[in-house]
Structure 1
Amino acid sequence: MSTQFPRAIPSMADELREKIISAPEMILDDQDVMRALIAADERASGTNVVDLRGIAMERLEERLDRLEDTHRGVIAAAYENLAGTNQVHRAVLKLLEPANFTAFLATLSGEVAEILRVDAVRLLLETKVEAEDPAVKRLGEVLVTAEPGFADGYVTLGRNLPVRPVTLRQISPDGGMIYGAQADFMRSEAVMKLDLGPGRLPGLLILGAEDPHLFRPSQGTDLLVFFAGVFERLMRRWLG
């Protein structure tokens, strides 16, 4: 009578070993597993051995984490910049559509304000015409008139500072004259200085927001400089 011995069943350790040998990237790509293996190696080496390799790996992991954070930040900034560029381009295209100045101002305070996601838009023109002039009042609240010299004073708040093309800030103390009944709700603004051509007094294009963080001094102004440049040229055409 022949005796048959049962076939040996490979242990779990053998199966795991074969899997690791056949696909080592499972271990190498798993940071938690690699940390556990390094920790086990350190315990086996004893407390009197300095593991320079482990220290180097920890530093490399820290650098990798920082690089990943920077990478995510750069991507987020790029998407935000692209979104801002699209907004400004759409706003410019809308400003090119009106056939008369009244419609131009209505588009500015309506569709353009919605595209730029601001709560108020004001066009301030320095003029010697009285603010109560009926022709001025018919143009609506988007148009604000002021005496010569007001624009620079509003930008600098009366301080001896250079007048920049675009100023981003928390709302100014003189907001009541600009925003009227909306002044109590405005928390930040973008102020763009307008050069309306030779022989003409300057003006301001002002975007107001209820969000105190929509316009901050730390933000870039390139897109708003471009928008103000286009707006200047359109205004020269309407005033010409």
Structure 2
Amino acid sequence: MEQQGQSESRVETDAAPRAATTDEVLAYLTRHPGFLADHPDLVSVLTPPEHRRGAGVVDMQQFMLQRLQSDLARLKSQQRALISTSRSNLTSQTRIHAAVLAIVGASSFEQLIQTVTTDLAVLLDVDVVTLCVESDTGPLPRPPLPGVLLLPSGEVDRLLGADKDALLEDEVRGDPALFGAGAGLVQSEALLRLTIGSHAPAGILALGSRRPHKFKAGQGTELLCFLAQALEITIAQWLDLEA
């Protein structure tokens, strides 16, 4: 029985993991000098040596301090970017809401068109706003209202693509067909599809800015599309058109 107990004890001892010795750890780190750089999380749990200088002495405390300072600077930069983006999004949301209220608050169709082509530029902080509507009556007639431009049939799909409701572009030259006399100011643009009714011609709400990066590909378009939808519904109601 005693021999059996000794045998079982020996088996349990052999099965237990052996901790690495100090020399083995030193040898491993010597062979892998970039270990701490590859595993920066260890810096927060290591106990640094005293701050000493001399030949052959590595200032681990200074290394850790620099690492923490770098991480802190990165986090502060990310925080500033997040705050800036949040403020920008909030400002954009406020501007869109004000524009929608102005649209639905128009007391006549003529005032609605004037609000869109004049007031929205101020409310949305852009330079030019126009309404572009397709016409299939042959040679394009003179636009019926200031700020309303006529496009050839099929031009909306050609500009936006058949399956897109918005197109944002930066560093562009304004197209007079879309922005009329204000085209020379435009260096970035947002083109928003207007589907006013099943029997109405396709249209575009064109926003142009003199700032080259006011609009650019990759920006969110949800708020702008909401603005376009509010305009679609309001125009359809004034013209008594079926959706």
Structure 1 match to 2:188: 188
Given that residues 173 and 187 in structure 2 are in contact (C-alpha distance below 8 angstroms), is that contact kept between their aligned partners in structure 1? no
Which digits, 9 at most, give the CA deviation of each residue in 1:131-180, with x for residues without a partner?
Answer: 436xx43x21x111223201111225xxxxx5421111137678122222
What is the number of equivalent residue pairs in this alignment? Answer: 192
Secondary structure of 2:119 counterpart: helix
1:148 paired residue among 143, 153, 173:
153
Residues 1-240 of structure 1 aligned to structure 2 (within 5 Å): 41-43=51-53, 46-129=54-137, 131-132=140-141, 136-137=143-144, 139-140=145-146, 142-156=147-161, 163-170=163-170, 175-239=175-239, 240=241
Give ranges in structure 2 of 5+ residues lacking alignment: 1-47
Given that residues 167 and 192 in structure 2 are in contact (C-alpha distance below 8 angstroms), is that contact kept between their aligned partners in structure 1? yes
Matching residue's letter, 1:167: L
Distance 1:56-1:189 versus aligned 2 partners, 3 A rule: same
Which digits, 9 at most, give the CA deviation of each residue in 1:84-129, with x for residues without a partner?
Answer: 1101101111111112111101111222211111111111112334
Secondary structure of 2:52 counterpart: helix
Structure 1 match to 2:42: none
Given that residues 174 and 183 in structure 2 are in contact (C-alpha distance below 8 angstroms), is that contact kept between their aligned partners in structure 1? no
Q: Structure 1 length normalisation: TM-score?
A: 0.72
- For 1:86 and 1:231, the matched residues in 2 are separated by 17
Overall identity of the aligned pairs, in % = 29
Given that residues 151 and 177 in structure 2 are in contact (C-alpha distance below 8 angstroms), is that contact kept between their aligned partners in structure 1? no
4+ residue runs over 3 A deviation: 170-174
Matching residue's letter, 2:149: V
Q: Structure 2 length normalisation: TM-score?
A: 0.71
Secondary structure of 1:42 counterpart: coil
Distance 1:152-1:174 versus aligned 2 partners, 3 A rule: farther
Given that residues 117 and 131 in structure 2 are in contact (C-alpha distance below 8 angstroms), is that contact kept between their aligned partners in structure 1? no
Given that residues 154 and 174 in structure 1 are in contact (C-alpha distance below 8 angstroms), is that contact kept between their aligned partners in structure 2? no
Distance 1:166-1:131 versus aligned 2 partners, 3 A rule: same
Secondary structure of 1:205 counterpart: strand
